[in-house]
Amino acid sequence: MRSNFTVLIALAGFLFFTPLAYAQGENHEEIQHEQAHHEDAHHAEVHDEASGEKDIKGVIKETIEHHLADSYEFHITEGVGFPLPVILVDGGLKVFLSSEFHHGGVAAVDGAHYKVNHGKIYKTDAAGTITYDDHHHPTNDKPLDLSITKNVFMILVMAVFMFFLFRGVAKTYQTSLAPKKAGRFLEPIIIYVRDEIAIPNIGEKHYKKYMSYLLTVFFFIWFLNLVGMTPLGVNVTGNIAITFSLALMTFIITQVSGKKDYWMHIFWMPGVPVLIRPVLAIIELIGLFVKPFSLMIRLYANMLAGHVVIMSILGLIFIFSSWVAAVPFSFLTLFLSVLELLVAALQAYIFTMLTSLYFGAAVEEHEHH
């Protein structure tokens, strides 16, 4: 009982201090970043030019944006981190480490020069000049970017981690029926996904085919949401490209497994007057695309909003710049962090739940009267 309590205190402490530590790290890096790009017209907006002092609100806004965005290096805190490979297709494959950008912000590879501007790589001259059009969009060429960015790196790490974790768990069942090691923790969750999500929505007859996808999606989203809450500062599930891919997979699997009844209910709804059927077909067709679209937006927006709220409240500490403000806002951050742990699991649950609901609709067999 006593040891449980100690663990709880340690966990609370961890949750309490990690956002602080990482806000500090991010902020510091941002200041360096600021100094490096002082001449950059776009960055100059956050400077109070008259007094030469930094506008704290602008810095906080940039810090949050920087945290939410993908990046070419894995930056944890000041001086801790490592570069990731940049892969460009620009008249041939060009592979180099993102640390090349540290030499004055311009990477010189095989006679071509590249520069990162607002998270995107542009082709520049040796001095790294970026020209803008009237709408402040760069007019430089943009090579096709297939880089292993921070998000891609985290996805790969998570894939390897999940592979070994679940393979290990599966192996223990060969020797005994009782779960062992990590299986003790994971078995109830896997059974929950099967008995409470898959079977009621898809049905006893078809659910087995979809279990592998549902479990993968559930644990992938859940684990990545949780990793997003650590000081590593990754925001994978809060990236619309990643939630788009997840929703696209659900969409394809749903359409591929669609049975005769499913298509019938879309294009020629049985049981309604014939005149209404074409109207319903249009609505159902739109619904076909709205469903995965809402899956994509829901996960993306929830995770993004969680990160923004937590970091904004941490930003308030710096705006008030006082210990008096730090105490309540830190506790508020602790509260929201714990809430985010719930949201992390809830969003994984909802995504899996709605996915299985769509699969269930696709394979459902109606009794004809």
Partner 1 sequence: MEIPEIVGAGLIVIGAGLGIGRIGGSAMDAIARQPEAAAKIQTAMIIAAALIEGIGFAALFAK
Closest approach of partner 1 to the CB of residue 109, in Å: 36
Q: How does DSSP assign 221-267, residue by residue? A: HHHHHHHHTSTT---STT-HHHHHHHHHHHHHHHHHT--HHHHHHHH
Within 13 Å, how many C-alpha atoms sit on residue 250's CB side? 31
Residue closer to partner 1 by CB (options 215, 295) is: 295
State how far the Cα of 369 lies from the Cα of 363, in Å rounded to an integer.
19
Of 238-297, binders to partner 1 (CB under 8 A) are 294, 297
Q: 285: Cβ–Cβ under 8 A, 6 or more apart, which residues? A: 266, 267
Q: Where are the beta strands (DSSP E) in the chain?
A: 73-77, 80-83, 85-89, 93-97, 106-109, 112-117, 120-124, 144-145
- Number of residues lying near partner 1 (CB under 8 A): 13
Binding string, residues 332-351; x marks residues near partner 1 by CB under 8 A = --------------x--xx-
Q: Per rule CB under 8 A, is residue 354 in the interface with partner 1?
A: yes
CA–CA dist 154, 171 (Å, integer): 25
**What x-and-dash track marks residues 23-62 binding partner 1 by CB under 8 A?**
----------------------------------------
Note whether 225 binds partner 1 by CB under 8 A. Answer: no
Task: Say whether residue 84 binds partner 1 (CB under 8 A).
Answer: no
Q: Which of 123, 226, 357, 364 binds partner 1 (CB under 8 A)?
A: 357
Q: Considering the complex, what minimum distance in angstroms separates the CB of residue 270 from partner 1?
A: 25
Q: How far apart are CA 211 and CA 213, in angstroms?
A: 5
Among 36, 182, 286, 305, binds partner 1 (CB under 8 A): 305
Residues lying near partner 1 in the complex (CB under 8 A) = 196, 294, 297-298, 301-302, 305, 346, 349-350, 353-354, 357
